[in-house]
């Protein structure tokens, strides 16, 4: 091939250099925009297909033009996952040294399969593996694999477990397969991560074959449930524990679990996709007490170590089992002298990129104290996030914030909390100041926040919390406005003329109405009518009437009815219209006594009702509901 100057035998590097220079310009602009750019893109699926699609080009295109066109077309669909306000999916950012290391890895293009393919990649993995074992407090003699993510890390560890347990039972699973093999028993916590189940399925262990041990309210496996599961069966057993619940961040009690698995001779695997990094913090390592007693561990580097995707890590106490489960041999796969690290012995893939370079760069740039500070800072920011959100009474924090996870639910005074939570999440995502995902926690819809990025600051947390609070309060305000609109449609005149059970049902579904009615259910004599009126500028109320003798063969259940006064028609006579409507309703129902329960943001006028023959019953009380203080007075009158 001729060079640029026409001399044979050399390569023209200028197209590569020019395209890299252009990529650097584009990358620099993106990095500088991350603090303020929208976290989630605005382009639609159809727009992205149109801009990135088309027919395959008939002829080559200049590399720099390709990079320009790719960046221009992809930009509207890029999620700012490396930015400081992306809180979805426990996604870390990308440390500066790791981004540069990834560029070098691509330029070097080093397969990490065998030492002979890249001595540098092999030694970098060897060094990084030793640093990781030391940092996380794991056995120094454990083997380490650099895989795509925790899913493959779990797969690799459980493949080694399968090999070793069946070997002890006299079965060579790599040679003889699973058909006819001794049955493996697998016990997991009830809150096990789906990647563990996925890994087991790939290994021939179906999800229905897995035994689930009960978990507590934070998702931690209960030792008593594990003990019962272990005692209920026999044979080769794998126990999968969890360091860092994907929703709550909670940790299984690893010390108790390690003791139980040791007693029964089971293989203990720890899925610690992000929680295992707590071992690097002196303040948090109590969460992983005795984690070193396990047989295998899985984690991600692209989560809390902030290495670019994809990068997972597996550690196995028994290197022989690890190598036996993963390694392959062929005439052309020649091992090198002096027993260097051969990367394909420790991972499911033979051909793979040299992921160790970025992991090495992360560890060297942060050092021991930097990793500890990164983990501690994210946890501190998560607690700040939770504290800020607690400012809104309708927001509940569902989990104990023990790590970097915050689980948020919107619980309005009335209405469906699941709907309110989903609606608030949509508003947050639409504003694009921050991004967080949805989840289900013990049957409840929730918003899931994970603080995992090295560049996140207190200002980012406060800005994001403000966005969430705006979304929640906007949702609640809209709900109140919609309620007011529905109420305005029900005028007192039409209510008098069309008083039916159908109208009753419209308000019966209200949680607020049901709660108030429960206060009176079973407490009133026959034929007593109770009216609850709420509101200052408008009236929003219901009536509950006890069984009326003579009206039906048997006493009937209480009914809840609407009494709505149209604000446009009431003038200054809201109290009078309420009194007249309540008295008329009571007489229509054959009630012999009326109890008028008035609740409003303004202190109800006692003299007004007393002048109409009603006696104050129960005094005055105040109730704090959301942001409002409601005054309550009860009156009673014979009809």
pLDDT digits (tens, 9 = 90+) for 132-189: 999 999 999 999 999 999 999 999 999 999 999 999 999 999 999 999 999 999 999 9
Residue span of the structural domain in which 622 resides: 492-638
Decide if 322 contacts 347 (C-beta within 8 A): no
pLDDT of residue 533: 39
Question: pLDDT tier at 524 (50, 70, 90 boundaries)?
Answer: very low
CA distances from 258 to 162, 188, 222, 264, 296 (A): 18, 13, 13, 10, 12
DSSP state of 555: P
Q: What is the mean pLDDT of residues 356-385?
A: 98
d(C-alpha 132, C-alpha 368), whole Å: 10
- Same domain for 476 and 606? no
- Same domain for 561 and 427? no
Residue 186 lies in a domain: no
Return the H-helix or E-strand segment holding 372.
helix 356-389
Decide if 634 contacts 595 (C-beta within 8 A): yes
pLDDT of residue 585: 57
- Same domain for 456 and 549? no
- Same domain for 623 and 503? yes
pLDDT of residue 601: 44
Decide if 511 contacts 519 (C-beta within 8 A): no
Domain boundary among 431, 455, 485: 485
Residue 440 lies in a domain: yes
DSSP state of 440: E
- Same domain for 453 and 513? no
Residue scoring higher pLDDT (226 or 42)? 226
- Same domain for 589 and 506? yes
pLDDT of residue 583: 65
Strand 296-300 and strand 312-316: the pairing is antiparallel
Q: What is the mean pLDDT of residues 399-415?
A: 94
Q: What is the mean pLDDT of residues 120-126?
A: 98
Q: 21-30, 456-465, 536-545: which has the minimum mean pLDDT?
A: 536-545
Find residue 461's DSSP bridge partners.
Answer: none
Domain count, the chain: 3
**In angstroms, how far apart are the furthest CA atoms of the chain?**
113
Residue scoring higher pLDDT (635 or 381)? 381
Q: What is the mean pLDDT of residues 533-550?
A: 36
- Same domain for 499 and 433? no
Report percent pLDDT > 70 for the chain: 74
Above 70 in pLDDT, residue 627? no
Q: What is the mean pLDDT of residues 190-201?
A: 97
Report percent pLDDT > 90 for the chain: 69
- Same domain for 504 and 632? yes
Question: pLDDT tier at 628 (50, 70, 90 boundaries)?
Answer: very low
Domain boundary among 451, 485, 519: 485
Task: List phi, psi (to 5°) of 441.
Answer: -130, 110
Decide if 67 contacts 19 (C-beta within 8 A): yes
pLDDT of residue 635: 64
Decide if 203 contacts 191 (C-beta within 8 A): no
pLDDT of residue 475: 75
Q: 122-136, 464-478, 479-493: which has the minimum mean pLDDT?
A: 479-493
CATH number at 400 reads 3.90.1150.10
d(C-alpha 320, C-alpha 291), whole Å: 21
The answer to whether the pTM exceeds 0.85 is: no
Q: What is the mean pLDDT of residues 214-224?
A: 97
Residue 321 lies in a domain: no
Residue 320 lies in a domain: no
- Same domain for 496 and 481? no
CA quadruple 339, 342, 348, 351: dihedral, nearest 10: -160
Q: 112-116, 289-293, 561-565: which has the minimum mean pLDDT?
A: 561-565
Question: pLDDT tier at 251 (50, 70, 90 boundaries)?
Answer: very high
Q: What is the mean pLDDT of residues 604-621?
A: 63
Domain boundary among 442, 464, 485: 485
- Same domain for 422 and 541? no
d(C-alpha 162, C-alpha 325), whole Å: 8
pLDDT of residue 413: 81
Residue 74 lies in a domain: yes
Residue 56 lies in a domain: no
Residue 340 lies in a domain: no
Question: pLDDT tier at 586 (50, 70, 90 boundaries)?
Answer: low
Residue 338 lies in a domain: no
- Same domain for 481 and 497? no
- Same domain for 445 and 531? no
d(C-alpha 303, C-alpha 94), whole Å: 9
Task: List phi, psi (to 5°) of 539.
Answer: -110, 130
Q: In which region does residue 204 sit, left (phi positive, over 0), alpha (psi from -120 to 50) or beta (all else)?
A: left
């Amino acid at each position: 091939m001729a060079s640029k100057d026409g001399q044979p035998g050399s390569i023209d590097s200028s197209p590569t250099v020019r395209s890299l220079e252009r990529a650097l310009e584009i990358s620099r602009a993106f990095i500088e925009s991350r603090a303020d750019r929208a976290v989630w893109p605005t382009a639609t699926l159809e727009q992205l297909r149109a801009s990135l699609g088309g027919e395959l080009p008939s002829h080559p295109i200049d590399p720099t033009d390709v990079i320009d066109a790719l960046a221009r077309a992809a930009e509207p669909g890029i999620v700012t996952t490396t930015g400081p306000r992306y809180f979805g999916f426990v996604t870390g950012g990308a440390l500066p040294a790791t981004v540069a290391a990834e560029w070098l890895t691509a330029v070097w293009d080093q397969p990490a399969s065998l030492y002979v393919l890249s001595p540098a990649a092999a030694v970098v993995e060897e060094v990084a593996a030793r640093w990781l074992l030391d940092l996380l407090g794991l056995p120094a003699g454990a083997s380490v694999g650099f895989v795509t993510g925790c899913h493959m890390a779990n797969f690799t560890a459980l493949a080694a477990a399968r090999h070793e347990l069946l070997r002890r039972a006299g079965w060579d699973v790599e040679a003889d397969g699973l058909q006819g093999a001794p049955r493996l028993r697998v016990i997991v916590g009830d809150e096990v991560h789906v990647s563990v189940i996925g890994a087991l399925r790939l290994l021939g262990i179906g999800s229905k074959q897995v035994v689930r041990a009960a978990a507590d309210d934070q998702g931690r496996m209960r030792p008593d449930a594990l003990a019962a599961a272990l005692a209920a069966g026999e044979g080769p057993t794998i126990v999968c524990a969890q360091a860092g619940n994907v929703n709550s961040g909670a940790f299984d009690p690893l010390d108790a679990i390690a003791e139980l698995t040791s007693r029964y001779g089971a293989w203990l695997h720890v899925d610690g996709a992000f929680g295992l990094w707590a071992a690097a913090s002196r303040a948090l390592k109590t969460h992983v007490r005795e984690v070193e007693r396990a047989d295998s561990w899985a984690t991600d580097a692209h989560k809390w170590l902030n290495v670019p995707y994809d990068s997972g890590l597996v550690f196995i106490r028994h290197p022989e089992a690890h190598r036996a489960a993963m390694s392959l041999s062929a005439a052309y796969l020649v091992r090198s002298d002096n027993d260097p690290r051969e990367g394909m012995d420790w991972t499911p893939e033979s051909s793979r990129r040299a992921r160790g370079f970025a992991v090495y760069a992360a560890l060297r740039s942060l050092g021991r104290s930097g990793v500890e500070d990164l983990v501690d800072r994210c946890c501190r920011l998560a607690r700040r996030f939770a504290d800020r959100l607690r400012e809104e009474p309708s927001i509940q924090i569902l989990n104990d914030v023990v790590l970097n996870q915050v689980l948020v639910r919107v619980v309005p005074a009335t209405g469906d909390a699941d709907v309110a939570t989903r609606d608030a999440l949509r508003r947050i995502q639409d504003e694009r100041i921050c991004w967080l995902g949805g989840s289900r926690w013990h049957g409840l819809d929730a918003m899931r926040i994970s603080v995992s990025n090295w560049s996140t600051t207190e200002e980012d947390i406060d800005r994001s919390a403000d966005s969430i609070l705006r979304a929640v309060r906007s949702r609640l305000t809209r709900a109140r406005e919609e309620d007011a609109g529905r109420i305005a449609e029900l005028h007192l005149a039409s209510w008098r003329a069309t008083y039916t059970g159908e109208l009753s049902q419209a308000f019966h579904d209200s949680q607020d109405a049901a709660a108030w009615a429960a206060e009176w259910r079973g407490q009133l004599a026959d034929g007593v009518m109770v009216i609850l009126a709420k509101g200052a500028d408008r009236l929003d109320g219901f009536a509950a009437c006890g069984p009326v003798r003579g009206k039906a063969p048997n006493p009937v259940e209480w009914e809840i009815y609407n009494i709505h006064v149209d604000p446009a028609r009431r003038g200054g006579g809201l109290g009078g219209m309420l009194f007249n409507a309540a008295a008329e309703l009571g007489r229509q129902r054959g009630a012999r006594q009326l109890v008028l329960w008035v609740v409003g943001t303004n202190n109800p006028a006692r003299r007004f009702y007393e002048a109409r023959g009603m006696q104050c019953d129960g005094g005055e009380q105040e109730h704090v509901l959301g942001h409002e203080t409601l005054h309550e007075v009860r009156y009673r009158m014979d009809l």
